[in-house]
Amino acid sequence: MSSNAQAPVSHFIRTIIDSDLESGKHSAIVTRFPPEPNGYLHVGHAKSICLNFGLALDYKGKCNLRFDDTNPEKESDEYAQSIQDDVRWLGFQWDGDVRWASDYFQQLYDFAVELIKQGKAYVDELTPEQMRQYRGTLTQAGENSPYRERSVEENLDLFTRMKNGEFADGSKVLRAKIDMASPNINMRDPAIYRIRRAHHIRTGNQWCIYPMYDYTHCISDALEGITHSICTLEFEDHRPLYDWVLDNITIPCHPQQIEFSRLELHYTITSKRKLLQLVNEKHVSGWDDPRMPTISGMRRRGYTPEGIREFAKRIGVSKSENIVDMAVMEGAIREDLEARAPRVMAIINPLKVTLTNFAGAQAREADFHPNHPEFGKRFVPISRELFIEADDFAEVPPSGWKRLTLGGEVRLRHSYVMRCDEAVRDAAGKVSELRCSIDHDTLGKNPEGRKVKGVIHFLSREHALPAEIRLYDRLFTVPEPDADKEKNFLEFINPESLTVVHGWVEAVVRDAAPESHYQFERLGYFCTDRREHQPGSKLVFNRTVTLRDSWTKEHT
Ligand code: ATP
Ligand code: MG
């Protein structure tokens, strides 16, 4: 990690907080992360989590986890559970108990009654179609509903009866009475309650009316004493409504809504609806498919919480467009894994090597990490038959080739210098085996009188263990799969986003627990699969990320 890993990077939200603390507007901050439990969290949410929880940690304040559970049809306990797991896994802990907007349903109802009593809300019964017509357009003012001037008594009576279940779903709504001519459409008498007979994950069938998001969110924030209510830019136009609601009810707290730009990551999507579609239509194996940009997918692929937090720091917080290249994420993950992953050897595409002068060759002890002796050592065995990576051999080497070729020499990583004497072909003429010899005088020392530039990894065939190795690539073939409105994003799914190979690994990883990270030398970072890897029996590795391209330069 970079040397300033602990120093917070400043941004406009920190500037606001600094001045609020300095002026005495607040003595401590309270933020919140407010997901709707209608899907699994993705990398965009990770940004928001790191921001909200990160600020609370830096400023020694508090951050709440609050479920915005106002759409009962789409919400589930599975989602709510996964969200809590993901936040904790990222390394954060919310203040006190998990909170739910539904905890405030009674208070929200009481505040609606208060608005009605002040003549600031009314029950409307325009059809949805009429409602659209009356709303007007961006260039044209809306018109008042014929129900707008109902008396307070009538509104109170109708709202009570809405709550009591006397009216059909969708037949009436409660609207805030603001301004049908406002240039901001959100202020044209927005609906604040609707009738919906749906079973709610927490309140069951207790309510048949549900408060709308904009109305619920600001009041929930205020009830929790949130100081800075941080959300994404699409809510900027909703801020006047956020403020209007809090200004028109009796509540002692008025949080400041602050918007920042949402993260969009190239070669993936951050729309819950589309992620759900990928899952439902089985384009991926589930929400935690390692190709998914979900937190659980990234986790299963082998991304680390530290790496994701570092990524969030690097992309920064601002109001300008935040489209980030995958390389930024991969760079942060690599850097984190570089320091934590022990290094072993694995072979993805084996080519058999027979050592013709094997007698007397010895295993060599090797560190798991060149800079971390505390990771320990293991013996790297050698035997008469080896596996090397098929593409480390070329009969007709391109210029500058440093790996194996007929008559050429390479260093076997942690072992001897080896010369290729003969290529054996199968019936089809393809090279099926190499016959090689080692220089017995090169274990741990340079060969006499010549330089050997290339280093390749290898495994001793009799010691190696078979492993399923899953090579993941980007899920989409284009940087912005959902940018083209004419085209379905599914058209851009990368058919080569997953390649499963049956490879070989060093025996020393046999008992690795699920979610163990390794660098397979020269191949990349890999992680034992959370679900399917079984220590000691079925070894399953997911490729987290490839190594940076300069690997060969550094190691030869
Ligand atoms: P929905 O359409 O279901 O509302 P959502 O992505 O907004 O989808 P929420 O559960 O409402 O999901 O989001 C919780 C929080 O995460 C919100 O504060 C939201 O602003 C933030 N968030 C969501 N997507 C991103 C993103 N791409 N970048 C940064 N923050 C995000
Ligand atoms: Mg949302």
Cα–Cα distance for residue pair 507/265, rounded to 1 Å: 37
**Which of 97, 84, 2, 17 has its CA nearest to residue 54?**
17
User: Residue 181, by phi and psi: left (phi above 0), alpha (psi -120 to 50) or beta?
Assistant: alpha
Give the amino acid at 537. S
Top mutation candidate among 232, 235, 258 for ligand 1, by most atoms within 8 Å of CB:
232
Q: Is the pLDDT of residue 548 over 80?
A: no
> pLDDT per residue over 105-125, tens digit each?
999 999 999 999 999 999 999
pLDDT at 553: 42
User: What residue spans in the chain does CATH classification 3.90.800.10 cover?
Assistant: 105-213
Average pLDDT over every residue of 208-223 = 98
Average pLDDT over every residue of 526-554 = 84
Q: Is the pLDDT of residue 556 over 50?
A: no
Q: Residue 151 has what DSSP assignment? A: -
Which listed ligand is nearest to 231 at the C-alpha? 1
Task: Please give the number of the atom of ligand 1 that sits closest to the Cα of 41.
Answer: 10
Q: Is the pLDDT of residue 45 over 80?
A: yes
> pLDDT per residue over 193-202, tens digit each?
999 999 999 9
pLDDT at 8: 78
Could you tell me what percent of the chain has a pLDDT over 70?
97
Which amino acid residue places its CA nearest to atom 4 of ligand 1?
Answer: 36
Q: Are 306 and 336 within 8 A, CB to CB?
A: yes
Cα–Cα distance for residue pair 464/350, rounded to 1 Å: 11
* Count of other CB atoms within 10 angstroms of residue 450: 9
Q: Is the pLDDT of residue 551 over 90?
A: no
Cα–Cα distance for residue pair 208/72, rounded to 1 Å: 10
The DSSP bridge pattern shows strands 524-528 and 540-545 to be antiparallel
In the CATH scheme, what is the homologous superfamily, with its name and number, of domain 269-345+464-556?
Ribosomal Protein L25; Chain P (2.40.240.10)
CA angle 278, 502, 496 (to 5 degrees): 35
Q: How far is the CA of 35 from the centre of ligand 1 (A)?
A: 7
Which listed ligand is nearest to 38 at the C-alpha? 1
Q: What topology is assigned to 349-456 in CATH?
A: Ribosomal Protein L25; Chain P (2.40.240)
pLDDT at 81: 98
Q: How far is the CA of 337 from the centre of ligand 2 (A)?
A: 32
pLDDT at 299: 98
Exposure class string for 239-263: b at 16+ Cβ within 10 A, else e: bebbebbbebbebeebbbbbbbbbb
Q: How far is the CA of 47 from the centre of ligand 2 (A)?
A: 14
Cα dihedral 385, 391, 394, 395, rounded to 10, equals 70
pLDDT at 5: 54
Specify whether 36 is catalytic: yes
Cα–Cα distance for residue pair 76/202, rounded to 1 Å: 9
Cα–Cα distance for residue pair 98/429, rounded to 1 Å: 66
Q: Are 70 and 212 within 8 A, CB to CB?
A: yes
pLDDT at 296: 98
Task: Please give the number of the atom of ligand 1 that sits closest to the Cα of 262.
Answer: 28
Q: Are 51 and 33 within 8 A, CB to CB?
A: no
User: What residue spans in the chain does CATH classification 2.40.240.10 cover?
Assistant: 269-345+464-556, 349-456
Length of the chain: 556
Which amino acid residue places its CA nearest to atom 14 of ligand 1?
Answer: 35
Q: How far is the CA of 214 from the centre of ligand 2 (A)?
A: 10
Which listed ligand is nearest to 257 at the C-alpha? 1
Helices (H), 206-289: 213-223, 239-247, 272-280
Q: Which CATH number fits domain 105-213: 3.90.800.10, 3.40.47.10, 3.40.1390.20, 3.40.50.720?
A: 3.90.800.10
Average pLDDT over every residue of 459-480 = 96
Question: One of 14, 196, 202, 262 is an active-site residue; which one?
Answer: 262
Cα–Cα distance for residue pair 244/258, rounded to 1 Å: 15
> pLDDT per residue over 177-186, tens digit each?
999 999 999 9
Q: What's the distance, CA 221 to chain centroid?
A: 25
Which listed ligand is nearest to 71 at the C-alpha? 1
- Phi, psi for residue 377 in degrees, rounded to 5: -135, 165
Q: How far is the CA of 291 from the centre of ligand 2 (A)?
A: 23
Q: Is the pLDDT of residue 9 over 90?
A: no
Q: How far is the CA of 13 from the centre of ligand 1 (A)?
A: 18
Q: Are 503 and 467 within 8 A, CB to CB?
A: yes
Q: For the chain, what is the mean pLDDT? A: 95
> pLDDT per residue over 271-287, tens digit each?
999 999 999 999 999 99
pLDDT at 163: 98
Average pLDDT over every residue of 384-396 = 97
For the record, the structure tokens of 482 come out as 């959902």
Average pLDDT over every residue of 77-102 = 98
Top mutation candidate among 40, 42, 45, 263 for ligand 1, by most atoms within 8 Å of CB:
45
Specify whether 148 is catalytic: no
The helix (run of H) or strand (run of E) holding residue 174 is strand 173-176
> pLDDT per residue over 488-500, tens digit each?
999 999 999 999 9
* Count of other CB atoms within 10 angstroms of residue 547: 19
Task: Please give the number of the atom of ligand 1 that sits closest to the Cα of 235.
Answer: 20
Task: Name all residues whose Cβ lies below 6 A of ligand 1.
Answer: 34-36, 38, 44-45, 47-48, 231-232, 262-263, 270, 272
Q: Are 549 and 524 within 8 A, CB to CB?
A: no
Give the confidence band of 423 by pLDDT, cuts at 50, 70, 90. Answer: very high
Could you tell me what percent of the chain has a pLDDT over 90?
96
pLDDT at 300: 98
Task: Please give the number of the atom of ligand 1 that sits closest to the Cα of 38.
Answer: 3
Task: Please give the number of the atom of ligand 1 that sits closest to the Cα of 270.
Answer: 27
Question: One of 32, 272, 299, 313 is an active-site residue; which one?
Answer: 272
pLDDT at 6: 63
Give the amino acid at 288. D
* pTM of the shown model: 0.94
Q: How far is the CA of 32 from the centre of ligand 1 (A)?
A: 13
